Amino acid sequence: MKPTLTPFEYHGDFLEVLDQRSLPNDVKYIVCRSASDVASAITSMAVRGAPAIAIAAAYGMALSARRSSDMKAAASLLLNSRPTAVHLKKVIDRMMVLPREAMEAEARKIHREDLDINIAIGRHGTAVLPADCHVYHHCNTGALATGGWGTALGIVRSMAEIKKLSHVWVGETRPYLQGARLTAWEMMVEKIPYTLVSDNMAAKLMSDGKVDAVLVGCDRVARNGDTANKIGTLSLAVLAHHYRVPFYVAMPLSALDEECATGEGIPIEERPAIEMLGYGFTKWAHPKTPVYNPGFDVTPAALITGWVTEQGLWRPQP
Ligand code: MRU
């Protein structure tokens, strides 16, 4: 199994990042030569998705190590680039205990490990989902959000490979449209049958019996199973519970925050108002409109049917 799309490529003295802000209309790349460049690419969401930002940060550390920069300053810049995904902190902690000369190899290893983890999640996911499955998916958890394969969309890819998948409902994912812009594009590239819907159509689909399972990714999971993921995940979980649709989280074990007992301890990023007021050059609300724009919400463990990890189903810890 080979990745078809990759969010970045490391070239030794620079990291080439596919700029996800202009997808799917323009395929453009950003060149990052320092940890500060990588941190900006993460904050601006040129690269996004919890595993992808962690791998990019590892390469950012490797770039700093090459330039003999201050490693503590580099780590702090990267750590503060986005607050919700715990993978970022774990990767930076892992890099910081190494000598500079080991950092490049470690970043490449973290990247390779992510691909293996995703493929294992995909394999385990196929065992829990029903045959001829109509999946509802939120945000983008595919190749673009990871080292090049996908977590929830990795399960979708594995299901498609073994002909267990019927079709994917691709939720648009307001306000930043990761579903419409990125997941729909990935499904098209992968030739996986899909239909784009706006987020407010999920209830109708479920009430019409057109969804067999909801599949989402995660940015941080507390010990009790409360799960932070893209804003809108919680409403889908509530709907799925009401309509008795199984609700699965694809979860690399690196998303578990052992220090966090419940979802209340998970920091939720607030994104800039501009991301609500329009997209690119198109603006649909007055620039002075007051805006509330949390990037994530927390789904209580009780609404989640299962967490699919690289080692099989995970159980919340008491
Ligand atoms: O704000 P984003 O686009 O980085 O949010 C992405 C998500 O919420 C994903 O579901 C999550 O990071 C898992 S990606 C495998």
Q: Is 19 a catalytic residue?
A: no
* Ligand 1 and 263: CB distance under 6 A: no
State the distance from the centre of ligand 1 to the C-alpha of 101, rounded, in angstroms.
31
* Ligand 1 and 219: CB distance under 6 A: yes
Q: Which of 137, 156, 218, 227 to mutate to test the pocket of ligand 1 (most atoms within 8 A of CB)?
A: 218
* Ligand 1 and 271: CB distance under 6 A: no
Q: What is the pLDDT of residue 2?
A: 57
State the distance from the centre of ligand 1 to the C-alpha of 50, rounded, in angstroms.
5
Residues 6+ apart with CB under 8 A from 158: 119, 122, 123, 125, 126
The pTM score is 0.97
Q: What is the pLDDT of residue 3?
A: 61
Instruction: Tell me how far apart the alpha carbons of residues 310 and 153 are, in angstroms, rounded to a whole number.
Output: 14
Q: What is the pLDDT of residue 112?
A: 97
Q: Which residues of 208-239 are buried (b: 16+ CB within 10 A; e: fewer)?
A: eeebbbbbbbbbbbbbbbbbbbbbbbbbbbeb
Nearest atom in ligand 1 to 146's CA: 15
Q: What is the pLDDT of residue 1?
A: 57
Integer-rounded Cα radius of gyration of the chain: 19
* Amino acid letter, residue 187: M
Q: What is the pLDDT of residue 184?
A: 98
Instruction: Tell me how far apart the alpha carbons of residues 136 and 132 are, in angstroms, rounded to a whole number.
Output: 13
* Ligand 1 and 229: CB distance under 6 A: yes
CA nearest 253: which of 174, 300, 173, 308?
Answer: 308
Nearest atom in ligand 1 to 53's CA: 4
Angle at 24 between CA 217 and CA 169, to 5 degrees: 45
Distances (CA, A) of 121 to 135, 164, 169: 16, 16, 20
Annotated active-site residue in 37, 114, 212, 219 = 219
The answer to whether the CB of 193 falls within 8 A of the CB of 167 is: yes
Q: Which of 5, 44, 90, 141 to mutate to test the pocket of ligand 1 (most atoms within 8 A of CB)?
A: 141
**Which residue's CA is the closest to the ligand 1 atom numbered 6?**
49
State the distance from the centre of ligand 1 to the C-alpha of 59, rounded, in angstroms.
19
Q: What is the pLDDT of residue 143?
A: 97
Instruction: Tell me how far apart the alpha carbons of residues 111 and 105 are, in angstroms, rounded to a whole number.
Output: 10
Q: Which of 19, 48, 253, 276 to mutate to test the pocket of ligand 1 (most atoms within 8 A of CB)?
A: 48
State the distance from the centre of ligand 1 to the C-alpha of 261, rounded, in angstroms.
21
* Ligand 1 and 168: CB distance under 6 A: no
CA nearest 29: which of 7, 50, 12?
Answer: 7
State the distance from the centre of ligand 1 to the C-alpha of 54, rounded, in angstroms.
12
For residues 173, 179, 182, 187, the Cα torsion angle rounded to the nearest 10 degrees is 180
Q: Collect the ranges in the chain with pLDDT lower than 70.
A: 1-3
For residues 45, 109, 185, 307, the Cα torsion angle rounded to the nearest 10 degrees is -90
